[in-house]
Amino acid sequence: MERFFGLKEKGTNIKTESIAGLTTFLTMVYIIIVNPAVLSSAGVPFEQVYMATIIAAVTGTLIIALFANYPIAIAPGMGLNAYFASVVASQGVSYQVVFGAVFFAGLLFLLLSFTKLREMLIESIPSSLKYGITTGIGLFIAFIGLKMSGIVVPSEATMIAFGDLHQPVTLLTLFGLFLTLTLIARNVRGALFIGMITTAIVGFFFDLLHFEGIVSMPPTPVFFDIDLAGVFTNGLYTVVFAFLLVTIFDTTGTMVGVAEQAGLMKNGKLPNVKPALMADAVATTVGSAFGTSPATAYIESSTGVAAGGRTGLTSLVVAVLFIISAFFSPAISAISSLPAITAPVLIIVGCFMMEGLARINWKSFDEAFPAFAIILAMPLTSSIATGIAIGFITYPLMKLVSGKGKEVHPLIYVFGVIFIIQMAFFPAH
């Protein structure tokens, strides 16, 4: 094992890598609770999502461990799961159709991983749009957390209003939120997971949480419960593009950031980059076939790197721990059914995604407004795809009218025209 992962060359050992793997797992294991909770709201059976989440995480993380030798873990991403649920609700399509869109996005992702088109796509999209998209998704999922918990509620007069703090679930959410914020402020590893478990214990004592079991054999996975034809009959092309684009940004940015932190970058480039990028694409494709939203590299992997993780052995430990978690479906099912446990995670992860705001050049209006339009549109339209479309339309237009049209990559003009046609003649309902 030491020779396979090159532990000595990287200045690490089995004990350090194992502790790093456990650290990463504890910081991201919240996804096996939150993902089923979010996708269940779209009608996907809990047990199907639960197993699909674990299968996608194990598949992607094992590939990156064994073929890329990176201490990076992969699992279904936050934000895209909420977008998945919003597509089902807003467009009146079945979840099987949206899984079809995720499957096609995964296949396109795989194809792009074999070519230089992926790099061209990433390089062509201006930073202000990338940061605007990430920030908009952050607001989008934080808003979902606020709605789930009853902290904000619908209002005829003002669209939304502050909720009733006397409601038990809302009170428990606020307790979980402030507890988790305190743990994060104190730099406690696994703060999100510890916060969820503590909130669950409090909910149990106040009769808000009911268990019908803790451990059982893993649920039987459901394979290929998807509708590929429905993607075309419902014209979900923008949805496919949104899944693809956001997953590419998330994974590429996370991998570069974590690899840099671990000292794995060589001359500004990632060695073994193809298997690393393919891991995410394969996990997304496989995950959709079993029943979950797109997978992405997890920024939480940086906690494992901080604990000394430098090789794929860290990721292998994460994958093994995800496999073990498959035996706890009764407990996870009960926990994910109580919004007060999962809502604080959505709100806090939304905050984490605000980091890109500082990198947008707000003094340059033709850069700032398209980012602002994306950030505004995503939570207010409950659609990541609509936000992306508005950004890709306004950016080239702003550059053209300000006399900077030559600064825009030709691909952005192409996407801008496509999105204008799509919004004018094939709008989402």
Indicate the DSSP class of residue 269. B
How far is it, in rounded angstroms, from Cα 291 to Cα 303?
A: 28
* Span of 8-22, 70-84, 248-262, 370-384 with lowest mean pLDDT: 248-262
Report the pLDDT value the prediction gives residue 253, as an integer from 0 to 100. Answer: 74
Bridge partner list, 161:
153
How far is it, in rounded angstroms, from Cα 71 to Cα 24?
A: 9
Q: What is the mean pLDDT of the chain?
A: 89
- Tell me, what amino acid is at 236? L
| Whether pLDDT at 413 is above 70 | yes
The pLDDT confidence band at residue 427, using thresholds 50, 70 and 90, is: low
How far is it, in rounded angstroms, from Cα 133 to Cα 235?
A: 22
Report the pLDDT value the prediction gives residue 201, as an integer from 0 to 100. Answer: 94
Mean pLDDT of 45-62: 96
Percent of the chain scored above 90 by pLDDT?
53
| Whether pLDDT at 279 is above 60 | yes
Report the pLDDT value the prediction gives residue 386, as an integer from 0 to 100. Answer: 86
How far is it, in rounded angstroms, from Cα 312 to Cα 291?
A: 27
Name the one residue in this structure whose structure tokens are 């926990």.
335
Q: Length of the chain, please? A: 429
Which ranges in 125-272 belong to alpha helices (H)?
127-149, 168-185, 191-205, 229-233, 237-261
Report the pLDDT value the prediction gives residue 429, as an integer from 0 to 100. Answer: 47
How far is it, in rounded angstroms, from Cα 318 to Cα 63?
A: 12
How far is it, in rounded angstroms, from Cα 296 to Cα 38?
A: 17
290-299 pLDDT, tens digit each: 999 999 999 8
Percent of the chain scored above 70 by pLDDT?
98
Buried b / exposed e over 232-249, threshold 16 CB at 10 Å, is eebebbbbbbbbbbbbbb
Report the pLDDT value the prediction gives residue 276, as an integer from 0 to 100. Answer: 83
120-147 pLDDT, tens digit each: 776 788 889 988 988 898 898 899 889 9
Buried b / exposed e over 318-353, threshold 16 CB at 10 Å, is bbbbbeebbebbbbbbbbbbbbbbbbbbbbbbbeeb
Report the pLDDT value the prediction gives residue 268, as an integer from 0 to 100. Answer: 64
Q: Are 335 and 209 in contact (CB under 8 A)?
A: yes
151-191 pLDDT, tens digit each: 999 988 888 899 998 999 999 999 999 999 999 999 887 88
| Whether pLDDT at 213 is above 90 | no
Mean pLDDT of 6-24: 90
**Token pair for 73:** 């873990």
Indicate the DSSP class of residue 8. T
The alpha-carbon radius of gyration of the chain (Å, integer) is 21
61-86 pLDDT, tens digit each: 999 999 999 999 999 988 889 889 98
Residues ≥6 apart with Cβ < 8 Å to 324: none
Report the pLDDT value the prediction gives residue 426, as an integer from 0 to 100. Answer: 63
